[in-house]
Chains A and B, each alone.
Chain A
Amino acid sequence: MIKYTLRRLFSLIPVMFIVSIIVFMIVHLTPGNPATLILGEESTKESVAQLEKQLGLDKPLLVQFFYWLKNILMGDFGQSVYSSEPVLRIILNHIGPTFSLTIFALILILLIAIPTAIFVVWKRNSLLDPLFISVTLLGVSIPEFWFAILLVLGFAVTFPIFPVAGYAAFGDGVLNWIYHLFLPAFVLAAVEIGLVARMLRDGMLEAVNQDYIRTARAKGVKESIVLMKHVFSNALIPTTTVIATIVAGLMGGTVIIETIFTIPGIGQLLIDSIYRRDYPVIQGVILFIAAIYVLVNLFVDLLYTFLDPRIRYD
């Protein structure tokens, strides 16, 4: 198990290396450059050249790449072209809001999706099931931005229960945190709840007709225990995978929701840096997102062994 984990962690290195090459190339081959942007439309050629030199952008691409890579290996992700702040600190400053939003959305997803799926499976032969399918389909198909605008109009403008936009850190008080993050988290969750609930329901319905379930029932186990202990836990593996992808996606920042609710998260940071051609920050954020994906997947693979003891990696 430990050996496996280490091996997986070790495999991070080639993945990150390839990602770094791709990111660096895409970022630097995109037209536009920060020196021109900083100096504006009336800049002279000389002043642009001077600023490029100062920013180290006048060197050949390959030299710049290895210089950047060397610094990363020493733990230095460079600094923003604009604010001269270290990239790592900038990313850390923006993780808070994104992490908050992810956790809040995840809680909502689990709180709503799991009981709903169990309930639907329990009442599987009623009208509830097709209704459930329609609603989940609706949830998955609603465009996020539209739903967000609608919720803002309904619950922030017409009935001002929540604020129109803004962010409060968890440290500013739990109630304040919930007050600011409920709407954006709900929008993010709404899309995923359908997906998770559907996954769970399908998995459970599949398990419901298995031989071991029949055996359990024949033994006289109560239906609620059958559902929770035997059906539910067997349907968890595919659902966990879906949840993991969702978490990785949310941690990578959600540009649209962060913009609509003016939440200073990773998504905002990335899009701003792209518009400003803040190369070191773009590169840093993409590497960060790639690392999140790899680590979340590793975590899920390890989680499988707990959820299903039959799974062994060694």
Chain B
Amino acid sequence: MKTAKHRKVGFIFVLCLLVIASLVGCSKDTTSKTAKTGGEESAGEPTNGGLLKVAYQSEPDTLDWSYTGASPTRDIGWHIFETLFALDKNFAIKPMVAKDYKVSKDGLTYTMNLREGVHFHDGSTVTAKDAAASIDRWRKVSSVGKITGAYMDTVKAVNDKTVEIKLKKDYKPFIASMAAPKSALIVIPAKIANEAGEQPLKPEQLIGTGPYKFEKWDKGQKIILSKFKDYSARTETDWGGLTGKKTAHFDKIEFQIVKDSQVMLNGLKTGLYDYAQNIPADLYDVVSSTPNIDPVTYINGYSTMTPDKSEAPFNDLKVRQALNYALDKQAIAEATYGNKKFYSLDGALFDPEQTELYSKEGTNGYLAYDKEKAKKLLKESSYDGRTLKIIYSNNNENYKKISQIVKQQMEEVGFKVELAPYEWATFLDKWKDPKNWDLEVVGWSTRFAPSELGMLSLGTESSGWYKSDRWQDLLDQWGKAETKEQKKDILTKMNQTVYEELPFYKIANETSLDIKSHKLQEYDNWLGQRFWNTWKSK
């Protein structure tokens, strides 16, 4: 009798604890439901000094922005390094460390002048020798540099401030490649460029010309940059993107490695961080209803699905066409991204912001959903009813959802499908062999030239072993195109090729979400995080 009573008391106690616990859990909502105080207030005079704390999700492997195309390297690296030419807000090419350039009539000799008095973080001044050595290293280590390097002959310093580059054959996108912010052509001292060679730069070799300099890297914890006092800014206004006048307002920037997005959100609420990168879109409503936090959204490439064209059944164009008609991309995007702010249905190969590269002409095949046509084409095709394997990386919730919905839609028209999720490293391994997969779902970040589109690079696993003389021919034409009209025309033909040959299926443009403290003024994201020309109000 006594023990029964005791148990009851214990039970009530446990119950009380649970109720209290759940109340504590809920109280957070009520505090954060206050109305938001609009967007940016008038920014006022910039405040100099202070420490900017950034919660950064993925730690880069290296800060050598030439060595890898990975976005964590790029986004931290571009505070330290600068390129000869760079893209502005509208993705137009502008000079950065370079002053100007001339091309010879035959298009084979590029002569570029450097700006006077540009300082490296070690105190020395940028000379033509440094620029030439940087270009030579870029040809060896950068993916973009290797493509461009094939057209290049010699690079030499004519005098202290002039570099001359001779090409083997005419290559019109030459300056565009030098300005591409992917595995970029960073200007580093000649001595370091020669020492590092094909190895990634070591921490002590991270000497650039950027507004912030590298200070310290506690692996697994944080990367610290500090203001470069002798920074030689361009004299124009801020052109946006990666060029124009840059002013470092903070004394220090700390990129702290934080994996958990809830920690990021709580950290911003309590002032532990000023900025957090890569927040799941589901948290958008919470973010926009929290008074001292602003959402930062920016387009970041698109999601795709690529068939393995080296083997049956997708070596048959009819099967690929059937699949294109089977995909209801509207439904896939709605179910995957939910909020309309985080996706857009657009069949183009580049982002709408990339005015020089964006073309919607010829993308009619993008939203071609027609179940009956799909069924009919599939019947006429060589598809023998075998089970097809979709591989994807389960690290990303979006690609998991896309794969699941695609499976359903494919089964509705008569495909047999199985899903094969893998952790990222295993996924990359499986991707290499056509035996492991028939379809592969992945997202591609924004690219800056047709030759950099991974899902279309001929003969590789990233394009599902795509072979096409027509595409190769268009790439060659692109290399020779000069005028805007010519380029637009080629882009249209590129779109047509993609939607007729169906080497891959574009799902939807993806928008990323970052969050920033309300105190961060005049902040402007461009592809990634850019912490110059911005400051924290008191």
Contacts and interface: CB of A to CB of B under 8 A. Distances in A.
Given A33-B425, A130-B7, A268 B220 contact: yes
B184 to A, nearest CB: 15
Interface in B8-61: 9-11, 13-14, 17, 21, 24-25, 27-28, 31, 59, 61
A19 to B, nearest CB: 23
A68 B428 CA distance: 26
Interface in A151-166: 152-154, 156-158, 160, 163-166
Contacts of A32: 423-429
Given A138-B14, A262-B260, A93 B219 contact: yes
A25 interface: no
B426 A152 contact: no
Contacts of B272: 163-166
Contacts of A269: 220
A85 interface: yes
Given A33-B425, A164-B267, A44 B460 contact: yes
Interface residues of A, number: 53
A41 B462 contact: yes
A262 B258 contact: yes
Given A164-B267, A165-B267, A36 B219 contact: no
A41 B6 contact: no
Interface string A37-48: 111111011000
B9 A260 contact: no
A90 interface: yes
Contact of A38 (B21, B61, B266, B460): B61
A119 to B, nearest CB: 17
A130 B266 contact: no
Contacts of A45: 432
A18 interface: no
Say which size band chain B's interface belongs to.
Answer: 35 or more
A280 interface: no
B9 A130 contact: yes
A184 B106 CA distance: 67
Main secondary structure of the interface of A (DSSP, over half): helix
Contacts of A268: 220
A41 B219 contact: no
B220 A264 contact: yes
Given A158-B24, A165-B263, A272 B454 contact: no
A157 B270 contact: yes
A131 B263 contact: no
Contacts of A215: none
B317 interface: no
Interface string B464-488: 0000000000000000000000000
A42 B10 contact: no
Contacts of A150: 21, 24-25
22 contacts: A31-B422, A31-B425, A32-B423, A36-B428, A40-B68, A41-B431, A41-B454, A41-B462, A42-B143, A42-B462, A133-B10, A134-B13, A157-B28, A163-B272, A164-B266, A165-B267, A165-B272, A259-B260, A262-B256, A268-B220, A272-B59, A272-B220
State the 4 A-B residue pairs at the shortest beta-carbon distance, nearest first: A32-B425, A134-B10, A130-B6, A164-B266
Interface of B: 3, 6-7, 9-11, 13-14, 17, 21, 24-25, 27-28, 31, 59, 61-62, 68-70, 143, 202, 218-221, 256-260, 262-263, 266-267, 269-270, 272, 422-432, 442, 454, 457, 460, 462
Interface of A: 30-33, 36-42, 44-45, 82-85, 90, 93-94, 127, 129-131, 133-135, 138, 149-150, 152-154, 156-158, 160, 163-167, 259-262, 264, 268-269, 272, 275-277
